[in-house]
Amino acid sequence: MTDRERKRYEAVWASNRGWLLQRPGSAGGSGSGDVSECVANVVVRDLWRRSRLPEDELAEVWELVDRGKQGMLTRPEFVVGMWLIDQRLRGRKLPHKVSDSLWGSANGLTVKKPKVRHT
């Protein structure tokens, strides 16, 4: 995932995080992290449906990225999901598992391989 792609997906995440997750009268979190830093499943569903991918493929993307199994996605989970949808729209198949390098790039981390010198 490129920095440009990640920043675009993060902008979508930032404009939708916290929606429908805060209960009236609740002062703090539920002990499982700050829900204001997540996007609710119903919001994600609405956003991802705009891709017009089949529902079963969107469900498969959700299964690949929903590591917390709490009905909401964190920033990296949402970013990876958006990237997978874009890849699918470009005709690529969904992976069986999200690679560690993709999770790293969703967090803004890149691992550069040393160049091999041929002498």
Tens-place pLDDT, residues 1-59: 888 999 999 999 998 887 765 554 444 444 445 677 888 889 999 999 999 999 999 99
pTM, full prediction: 0.78
Fold (CATH) for 3-22+31-106: Recoverin; domain 1 (1.10.238)
- CA 78/CA 60 separation, integer angstroms: 14
Domain ranges (residues) in the chain: 3-22+31-106
Per-residue burial over 57-69, b if 16 or more Cβ lie within 10 Å, else e, is ebeebbebbbeee
Per-residue pLDDT at 66: 92
